[in-house]
Chain A
Amino acid sequence: MSQKPKEPGDRREFFVKLGIGAGLVALGGQGLASLRSLVPNVSYDSPTTVKLGYPQEFPEGMKFLPDQRLYVFREGKVLHAISAVCTHLGCTVRAEALSQVEVRTVEGSPLRLTHRFLCPCHGSKYTGDGENVAGPAPRPLAWYHLSIATDDGQLVVDLARPVERSFRLTLA
């Protein structure tokens, strides 16, 4: 009889498939493990809550903080902060002083606009309150939350906490 008994063939086939399957699982596992090892578990990034110095050190008008990529505006006792990170592709926008100061009501509160912002990478333009008016920027510049540190009275910005454009920090 030429026909082989069925069982050994099945067993061989089963082991071949098992071997191939185990090989694939091993390769896939190695691949996934290698890829996963490249995803950082611990962030060594600088913290998002940063002390910026004492409020009285901030001049009347605008101050650029390059490390935080932040513009801090001060009008007497009232402060607010606008991000310098372009919403298009993340370059640092530059402030250009306006020849004439403009007062505009932004989200219900009056705001003196002394500058406008221009991006050197793709030409986005923002008004002094961060509104995107020209170029490829899809969103207004972010405003960040300001507060006074309870321990030493320094100005604190929370770069992880965007706020409405009506936000103001009024010093006591």
Chain B
Amino acid sequence: MALSPESEKPQAPGVHPRPLWSLDPASDRQAGDAIVSNFVFHWFPAKALKDSLAWRYSLWLGTVSAALLLLLTLSGLPLLFLYVPSVERAYGSVKDIEYVITFGYWIRSVHRFGAHFMVAAVFLHLVRVFLTGAYKNGPGRGQHREWNWLMGIGMLLLTLFLSFTGYLLPWDQLAYWAVTVGTNIASAVPLVGPQIRELLLGGRNIEQATLIRFYVLHVIVLPGGLGVLFAYHMWRIRKDGGLASADQAASLPAKVEVPPGRTKTYTLLGIARGTGPTIRASSIEAADTTVSSIPDLTRRIAIVLLGTIAAISILAVFVHSPLEEAANALVTPNPAKAPWYFLWLQEIVTDTTIKLGSFTVNGAFIGGVILPGLLVGLLAVWPWLDRSPTAAAGRWFPQSRRRQNAVFLLLVLAVLLLTFVGTFCRGPYWQLYWPWQAWVELPTRI
């Protein structure tokens, strides 16, 4: 006979007679208990604000990014066993993964698609947060959403560097010439540029020292940094009182002063004795604005997580990853294209060499250092420049943020347009072609 929720008397918080009770709690009390006592669930609040869970507000892009990070970590593990970071054997080992090892092509394809989609998801997440003004603080106390915005920018950059270091590892033509161009952009930095390049390459030429540096960055340094920032990012969401869209709901009912004087107060974790504190009640406990995190929050997280993993896993069965010819220091491919998410940068380093009389500034410096630096810098300080009212936070396209949203969207559009031009309109010798136009036939060897 099943125990009725009321008759169930846990001996201690989190101790319940049924196995897996925390996945399927029988009462609100059990649902709350499960959050507090479960290693995985204790990330989440016991009660979640309904507004935070809305599909249409956040589009769950942050969760998609996190799901992809998880998938990339998991699919990276077998690759870590199979890949050999040496210039003689790297290309061969990736070729083996692709053509010899059972399921190798699938694991590599999952990893590659995961990376491509993660760049897209993290970028779209940033766009969503900007457009909804979600880096703004609401009426809650102790909110510092601007810190999470900064961490988000840091994580976008880490994601891009992870992709960059990742596509170098096969040591094919794409890899070799991407390192050549990428590190030459670094050396365009005034004063310390050549030293930065030498530090990245581990010498003056692209050789074994370079591969091992990018390998260690890819498998340890950058993922480690991303993991720390990710954890901090999640923690801050709790500290900031949930998503910005829930700010209104959290403060809706009039705050009630409860007179002090009780001798004991029930808190989430136990009984505090002594004079009771003054409680400023908010709707975090109100039944009409909140739901139990289990199952409403956990169900949605499971849907997003499994959906993302399923989509990538199925896609990876059908679409194989490309592998260009082995790295050849003697021949630059024509055209030599970066992956799609760096093509806008390749476009601007092409177009920004400035000549003033006899004085020339290399596009590598303006397009590769100054402009991206300005963009990132502007994004980073924007929460402090934004003067829109608090009420504009957490809503799509509010009237008061119309102008800054328009400017932001123009910049996003410019980046997308340059990406399109680089992807579809550039042919041999980086000449402009229409997407439907055939490229001129060129001899493959000089």
Assuming the contacts A43-B204, A136-B352, asked whether A123 and B429 have C-beta atoms less than 8 A apart, the reply is yes
Report whether A88 and B330 are in contact in the complex, using a CB–CB cutoff of 8 Å. Answer: no
- Complex CA distance for A45 and B209, rounded to whole angstroms: 11
Which of A46, A91, A136, A137 lies at the interface centre, i.e. has the most chain B CB atoms within 10 A of its CB? A136
* Shortest distance between the CB of A47 and any CB in chain B (Å): 12
> Does B202 have its Cβ within 8 Å of any Cβ on chain A?
yes
> Does B360 have its Cβ within 8 Å of any Cβ on chain A?
yes
Assuming the contacts A39-B199, A46-B205, A66-B331, asked whether A91 and B361 have C-beta atoms less than 8 A apart, the reply is no
- Complex CA distance for A118 and B442, rounded to whole angstroms: 12
Residue total for A at the interface (Cβ-Cβ under 8 A): 31
> Does A146 have its Cβ within 8 Å of any Cβ on chain B?
no
Q: Mark B340-368, 1 if CB is under 8 A from A, else 0.
A: 00000010011111000000111110011
**Which residues of A are found within 8 Å of B352, using beta-carbon distances?**
136
> Does B223 have its Cβ within 8 Å of any Cβ on chain A?
no
In chain A between 101 and 149, which residues have their CB closer than 8 angstroms to a CB of chain B? Answer: 118-123, 125, 135-139
> Does B399 have its Cβ within 8 Å of any Cβ on chain A?
no
Report whether B332 and A123 are in contact in the complex, using a CB–CB cutoff of 8 Å. Answer: no
> Does B118 have its Cβ within 8 Å of any Cβ on chain A?
no
The answer, among A38, A87, A122, for a CB contact under 8 Å with B430, is A122
Assuming the contacts A39-B199, A67-B330, A90-B184, asked whether A136 and B429 have C-beta atoms less than 8 A apart, the reply is no
**Which residues of B are found within 8 Å of A122, using beta-carbon distances?**
346, 349-350, 363, 430
Report whether B205 and A38 are in contact in the complex, using a CB–CB cutoff of 8 Å. Answer: no
Report whether B203 and A88 are in contact in the complex, using a CB–CB cutoff of 8 Å. Answer: no
Chain B residue at smallest Cβ distance from A68: B330
Interface of A is mostly: loop
Chain A residue at smallest Cβ distance from B182: A89
Q: Mark B194-216, 1 if CB is under 8 A from A, else 0.
A: 00001100111101010001000
> Does A8 have its Cβ within 8 Å of any Cβ on chain B?
no
- Complex CA distance for A91 and B178, rounded to whole angstroms: 10
- Complex CA distance for A39 and B200, rounded to whole angstroms: 9
Chain B residue at smallest Cβ distance from A122: B350
- Complex CA distance for A39 and B364, rounded to whole angstroms: 24
> Does A94 have its Cβ within 8 Å of any Cβ on chain B?
yes
Report whether B335 and A40 are in contact in the complex, using a CB–CB cutoff of 8 Å. Answer: no
The contact size tier of chain B is 35 or more
Which of A67, A87, A94 lies at the interface centre, i.e. has the most chain B CB atoms within 10 A of its CB? A94
> Does B31 have its Cβ within 8 Å of any Cβ on chain A?
no
Report whether A121 and B203 are in contact in the complex, using a CB–CB cutoff of 8 Å. Answer: no
Report whether B429 and A120 are in contact in the complex, using a CB–CB cutoff of 8 Å. Answer: yes
> Does A64 have its Cβ within 8 Å of any Cβ on chain B?
yes
> Does A95 have its Cβ within 8 Å of any Cβ on chain B?
yes
Report whether A137 and B180 are in contact in the complex, using a CB–CB cutoff of 8 Å. Answer: no
* Shortest distance between the CB of B372 and any CB in chain A (Å): 15
- Complex CA distance for A39 and B209, rounded to whole angstroms: 11
> Does A154 have its Cβ within 8 Å of any Cβ on chain B?
no
- Complex CA distance for A89 and B184, rounded to whole angstroms: 5
**Which residues of B are found within 8 Å of A91, using beta-carbon distances?**
177, 180-181, 332, 336
Report whether B203 and A43 are in contact in the complex, using a CB–CB cutoff of 8 Å. Answer: yes
- Complex CA distance for A120 and B430, rounded to whole angstroms: 6
Report whether A40 and B203 are in contact in the complex, using a CB–CB cutoff of 8 Å. Answer: yes
Q: Mark B361-389, 1 if CB is under 8 A from A, else 0.
A: 11110011000000000000000000000
- Complex CA distance for A15 and B332, rounded to whole angstroms: 61
- Complex CA distance for A83 and B349, rounded to whole angstroms: 21
- Complex CA distance for A66 and B446, rounded to whole angstroms: 10
Report whether B362 and A138 are in contact in the complex, using a CB–CB cutoff of 8 Å. Answer: yes
Report whether A64 and B446 are in contact in the complex, using a CB–CB cutoff of 8 Å. Answer: yes
* Shortest distance between the CB of A30 and any CB in chain B (Å): 16
- Complex CA distance for A66 and B181, rounded to whole angstroms: 18
The answer, among A40, A67, A89, for a CB contact under 8 Å with B181, is A89
**Which residues of A are found within 8 Å of B205, using beta-carbon distances?**
45-46
Assuming the contacts A44-B207, A119-B430, A120-B429, asked whether A38 and B177 have C-beta atoms less than 8 A apart, the reply is no
Chain B residue at smallest Cβ distance from A125: B429
In chain B between 316 and 330, which residues have their CB closer than 8 angstroms to a CB of chain A? Answer: 329-330
Chain A residue at smallest Cβ distance from B362: A138
The 10 closest A-B pairs by CB, nearest first: A123-B430, A66-B330, A120-B334, A136-B363, A136-B353, A138-B362, A122-B350, A138-B360, A89-B184, A92-B332
Q: List 11 A-B contacts (CB under 8 A).
A: A40-B202, A45-B207, A88-B364, A89-B181, A89-B368, A119-B332, A120-B335, A121-B177, A121-B346, A138-B363, A139-B360
Other contacts beyond A43-B203, A45-B203, A89-B185: 15, CB < 8 A: A39-B199, A44-B207, A45-B205, A89-B180, A89-B368, A91-B332, A94-B332, A94-B429, A119-B332, A120-B333, A120-B430, A123-B350, A123-B431, A136-B352, A139-B360
